[in-house]
Amino acid sequence: MVIIKTSKGQSEYALFFYPFTIRQLEGMGLEAKKKKVLLRLPALKCPSARGEKEAKRIEALISNACKNWNFSELDSASREACGTMFRSLGIEVPASLGIGPEPRREFTLKDASKLFLTDPEIRDSPGRWRHEASLLNLVPRLGANTPVKLIKVAHLKQYQNDRLRERKQASTINRELATLSKLFRILVENDVVDVNPVRSLKALSTRSGERQVYLSFADVQLIASHCPKWYQDLIWTAYYTGARRGELLALTRKQVDLAKRIIVISPMATKEAHWKRIPIHQDLLPTIEPLVRFAPADTDNLFLLRDSKGARPIGLETFKNCWDRALTALEKSGEWKHARPRFHDLRHTWRTNARRSGIDFQIAETILGHQNKARSVSDRYGRISDKELLEAIEKLIVENGETEVLLAREITGKNGHGSNMGVTVEHQGKKKATQLGGLS
């Protein structure tokens, strides 16, 4: 039977027929019953009447050739279609058909990315989102269809130079190439390639990108005021806890104990792979409590993107875009005259606030989740109780000074790749910690 599908004046043809006998099917290891085969003929493009006639001719030739197992009478069109049929059924193409095996397709960077992200080590990693973000830059620049065996050190050096010209930080480029190195390591483990070219590449110096940032309470309020409410919740939680972006995006309601005012993060969700307990500041409760008590039933995520389309998990690009859009708007209006901070600078600000508030160093490090030589702060100094954590967080004074943005490249007059931006140290007035307009 010939099937004809017409779309936009173009006819497509397919055969739906029985090319094999039951005995032949048994011999090929297929189910021993009449098997109808659907065979598309994409190469057949001609007017409907002539096309249908040609399709029937090809069907008759293939049926006769298969049943007699004699392919000598097939012409080029029917021979190509017959070879396609064997391959689609997973059957070895008969040598007498005169068609060699289908050329082996090269394993591309796109293929490698899929293999990498589904590898158990990466798939279950709390840092998977970082790898996904890196691949968004790596794949289009190196070429999605580039065979991985052709990626050499020279291409990686060019990638470094291209990213530097785009004014990306050396640390960002190194992080992206670290993802590529892990990808190649998994390819080596799966015998796709023999060597990891990234291991022969010298990492970029990050000294020029070192930064010291402190954001005043007023400046954090200013940024938050230009963000949607659901994103303000993320800003204030990061500001009052020092938690990382990835930890916040992965946070679930089950991890938040409102009665104890403690957030518990498992080793699977932290960069250090250690348990982490974060006390909830009294001023943060008005933000956290509604997120826990009034959440959609179909998800356990604490932080969700909420708009006219409903509530759903927050994608990485959406997360980054909100912060950047807010600062762009402030820069255009002239309200923001500082160097542009990053969301991660909220974590640096928390650390400074903790020190300036007189919070015990060991407790502050425990809350941040820092580690040393694969041992957590709690392991080294003994378990710190929830009571100690809560007592410490109540000492936190969030306004401890003016905004300061110090970049190493600006102080030295160079950034390692040819730009000179001048040192930036900016100031803002003080606000009381209890004046939380951004939390409402």
Q: What is the DSSP string of 246-301?
A: HHHHT-BGGGEETTTTEEEE-GGGSTTSS-EEEEPPGGGHHHHHHHHHS--TT--B
pLDDT digits (tens, 9 = 90+) for 257-296: 999 999 998 877 677 677 889 999 999 999 999 999 887 8
Using one digit for the tens of pLDDT, what is the confidence trace for 345-388?
999 999 999 999 999 999 999 999 875 544 555 555 578 999 99
What's the average model confidence in pLDDT over 316-336?
90
Question: What is the structure's pLDDT at 115?
Answer: 95
pLDDT band, very low/low/confident/very high, at 10 (cuts 50, 70, 90): low
Q: Is 370 helix (H, G, I), strand (E, B) or coil?
A: coil
Arithmetic mean of pLDDT, 33-54: 71
User: Which of 199-203, 223-227, 316-320, 402-406 is the least confident region?
Assistant: 316-320
pLDDT of residue 323: 94
Q: How many CB atoms lie within 10 A of CB 437?
A: 9
The per-residue pLDDT for 395 is 95
CB 7 within 8 A of CB 45: no
Three-point CA angle 55, 56, 58, nearest 5°: 65
**Region 332-345: what's the mean pLDDT?**
91
Q: Is the pTM of this model over 0.85?
A: no
Can you tell me the mean pLDDT for 392-406?
88
**Whether the predicted pLDDT of 42 surpasses 90:** no
Alpha-carbon gap, residue 170 to 393, rounded angstroms: 35
Identify which of 440, 4, 8 has the alpha carbon closest to the alpha carbon of residue 229: 440
* DSSP character string of 123-185: HT-TTHHHHHHHHHHHHHHH-TTSBGGG--HHHHHHHHHHHHHTT--HHHHHHHHHHHHHHHH
Q: What is the pLDDT of residues 95-151, one digit of tens each?
A: 888 876 656 678 999 999 999 999 998 988 877 888 999 999 999 999 999 999 999
SS3 236: helix
What residue has token string 């052709």?
A: 150
Tokens at residue 357, please? 């508030």
Q: Do the bridges between strand 276-279 and strand 262-265 make them parallel or antiparallel, or are there none, so unpaired?
A: antiparallel
Spell out the SS3 assignment of 380-437. HHCCCCHHHHHHHHCCCCCCCCCCEEEEHHHHHCCCCCCCCCCCCCCCCCCCCCCCCH
Q: What's the whole-number mean pLDDT along residues 19-27? A: 80
Residue 406, pLDDT score: 79
- How big, in percent rounded to 5, are the helix, strand and coil portions of the chain? 50, 10, 40
Residue 53, exposed/middle/buried by CB under 10 A (0-12, 13-18, 19+)? exposed
Mean pLDDT of the 153-181 span: 94
Q: Is the pLDDT of residue 339 over 50?
A: yes
Neighbouring-strand partners of residue 212: 406
- List 312's β-bridge partners, or say none: 305
H/E element, 4: strand 2-7
The answer on pLDDT for 195 being more than 90 is: yes
298's tokens: 């179909």
pLDDT digit string (tens) for 299-318?
A: 889 999 988 888 888 887 78
Residue 233, pLDDT above cutoff 70: yes
User: In the block, which residue shows the tokens 């998800």?
Assistant: 299
Burial status of residue 135 (CB atoms within 10 A of its CB: 0-12, 13-18, 19 or more):
buried
Query: What is the structure's pLDDT at 214?
Result: 93
Q: Which residues of 233-250 are buried (b: 16+ CB within 10 A; e: fewer)?
A: bbbbbbbbbbbbbbbbbb
CA dist 429 and 357 (Å) reads: 18
Cβ pair 408, 210 in contact under 8 A: yes
Map out the domains of the chain with their CATH numbers: 2-97 (no CATH), 109-204 (1.10.150.130), 211-439 (1.10.443.10)
Q: Do 408 and 212 form a contact (C-beta atoms < 8 A)? A: no
- Cα–chain center distance at 106: 24
pLDDT at res. 429: 37
pLDDT at 198 over 80: yes
Q: Longest C-alpha distance within the chain, in Å?
A: 91
